[in-house]
Amino acid sequence: MAYRFLSSRIVPSSNRLSRRFIFIFTISLCFMYLCYSIIFCSGTIMPNQRLEDHRCVHLKNMGSKKLLQKSHYCTISAKARVISDETRAVGLLNLTGNQSKHSAFQKTQDVVDHKQSNNSNSPKYGNKKLPNALIVGVKKGGTRAVLEFIRIHPDVRALGTEPHFFDRNYDKGLDWYRGLMPRTLDSQITMEKTPSYFVTREAPRRISNMSRETKLIVVVRNPVTRAISDYTQTLSKKPDIPSFEELAFKNRSQGIVDTSWNAIRIGMYILHLENWLQYFRLSQIHFVSGERLITDPAGELGRVQDFLGLKRIITDKHFYFNRTKGFPCLKKPESSSQPRCLGKSKGRTHVQIDQEVIEQLREFYRPFNVKFYEMVGHDFRWD
C-alpha cells in the first residue's frame, strides 16, 4: 500500500529507477520501525537486569538523587535481587544436612546482609533477637571453650565477643543489646557469653527483667586452680603486680584469706548462686564442669545440648585432644584447612605456687564447696 501510494503520487510510472529507490527506502523504514519496536517493547515485558542496574548507577553518578528514589527500576530490582538470594538460601538449607545447613545459612546470610546494606527498605533474612540462653560464668572456668564448641551446632547462633551488657552497658538499653546479636531463624537459639555476669550483683535482676525464661549456663572449676589461672592471666598483662601469696592472704601465717581479692571471691560459688536463685529457678541453670570439659568434652556438650533442648549433634567425632595445649580442640571443619583451637591466651602454663599455699586455700574453700554441691545436687570432687 505504502509503495503504490508513494509511487503514484511522487514519481511517474515510467521512471523505474525512482520507483526502485522509493521501494528500497520504504522497506528500510519498515525494518527500522520493526527493530525499534522489538528492542523497546521487550524491555517493558522482560526487563534486562544489567540494563536496569546500569541505569541506576548512571543516575547515581549524575547526582540525580530524587530521580533515583522515584525510579521504579531502581527500587524494585534491588528488592528482587535480595528475595532471589533468600530463595536460593532456603533451597540450599533444605538440601543440606545438619552441619552443612548451618554453614550454608551463614554464607548466604553474609551475601544477603551485604546486599541489604545498600537498601534499608529491603527485606531481612532472619531476625535479631534477645538471647534465649546466656553463658554467665565463671571467669577462667572454660566459658570460651563452651561457646566455641556449642556454636558449631546448626541450631545455635552466638555472639563471639563479650558484650558486658548486664554489668557495664546496661544504660544503653535492650534495643542496643538486641542490635549486637546475630540474625537467627525462628528455630535457632541466640546466645552470648560474659563470665563476669555471675559475680555481678545486679545481673540476675536485670536478666530476669529481660526474660524470666532465659536459660543460664555456668562453667565452674576447682576454685583454687581457677584463682591461680586468673592470677596467671593478670600477671601476663601486669608483670609488676605482687605475688599470688601476698594477694591471696591478709595473714598467711594465720591462714586468713583476703576475700576482697576478686580472684579469690569468684570461687566462692555458693554466695553468688544464692543471689541468682532469688530470680531464677535452679532448673534454669546448668553447671558445666571445667575439669570434665577437658577430659570428656563430648559428654559435657551433650548435657549442654540436652539443657538447651537441642538434638545431640556435637559428639566425640568433633574433638581431638591437643597435647601441646593440654585441652581438646575441634577437628578440621569442611570449610577450613585448619583445626579450630582456642587462642594463645588459653592453656597458659600456670605460675608455680607453693603447695602449702594451695592446701591452705583448699581448706578455705572446702565449706563453700560442700554447700555448693548440696545446692546443685552434684559433687564436683574438688576436695
The per-residue pLDDT for 69 is: 40
Rounded to an integer, the average pLDDT of 54-72 is 40
* % pLDDT > 70, the chain: 67
How many of the other CB atoms lie within 10 Å of CB of 237? 8
The per-residue pLDDT for 173 is: 98
The per-residue pLDDT for 349 is: 84
Rounded to an integer, the average pLDDT of 230-247 is 96
Residue 157 has pLDDT above 90, yes or no: yes
Between the two ends of the chain, the Cα-to-Cα distance in Å is 110
Burial of residue 112, with CB atoms counted within 10 A of its CB: 0-12 exposed, 13-18 middle, 19 or more buried: buried
Tell me phi and psi for residue 160, to 5 degrees.
Answer: -75, -35
Rounded to an integer, the average pLDDT of 214-242 is 97
Q: What does the pLDDT look like over 250-302, one tens digit per residue?
A: 999 999 999 999 999 999 999 999 999 999 999 999 999 999 999 999 999 99
Rounded to an integer, the average pLDDT of 63-73 is 39
Q: What does the pLDDT look like over 307-326, one tens digit per residue?
A: 999 999 999 999 988 877 67
User: Per-residue confidence at 41, pLDDT binned at 50, 70, 90?
Assistant: low
Pairing state between β 256-257 and 249-251? antiparallel
The per-residue pLDDT for 233 is: 95
Rounded to an integer, the average pLDDT of 193-203 is 98
The per-residue pLDDT for 23 is: 77
d(CA 214, CA 217): 10
Of 228, 92, 200, the residue nearest 154 (C-alpha): 92
Poorest-pLDDT segment among 47-61, 278-292, 333-347, 369-383 = 47-61
d(CA 23, CA 29): 10
Most confident of 11-20, 68-77, 117-126: 11-20
Rounded to an integer, the average pLDDT of 108-125 is 46
Residue 98 has pLDDT above 90, yes or no: no
The per-residue pLDDT for 95 is: 34
**Average per-residue pLDDT for the chain:** 79
The grid coordinates of residue 379 equal 559433687
Poorest-pLDDT segment among 106-115, 132-141, 234-243, 341-350 = 106-115
The grid coordinates of residue 34 equal 520493526
CB < 8 Å & 24+ apart, contacts of 127-130: 127/183, 127/184, 127/186, 128/178, 128/179, 128/181, 128/182, 128/183, 128/184, 129/178, 129/181, 129/184, 129/190, 130/174, 130/177, 130/178, 130/181, 130/190, 130/210, 130/211
Poorest-pLDDT segment among 56-65, 149-158, 244-253, 299-308 = 56-65
Helices of type H across the chain: 2-10, 16-45, 49-61, 65-70, 72-95, 98-116, 143-150, 174-180, 203-210, 223-237, 244-248, 262-265, 269-276, 290-295, 297-307, 355-376
Residue 210 has pLDDT above 70, yes or no: yes
Residue ranges at the known binding site for 3'-phosphoadenylyl sulfate: 140-144, 221, 229, 346-350
Residue ranges at the known binding site: 140-144, 221, 229, 346-350
Catalytic residues: 140
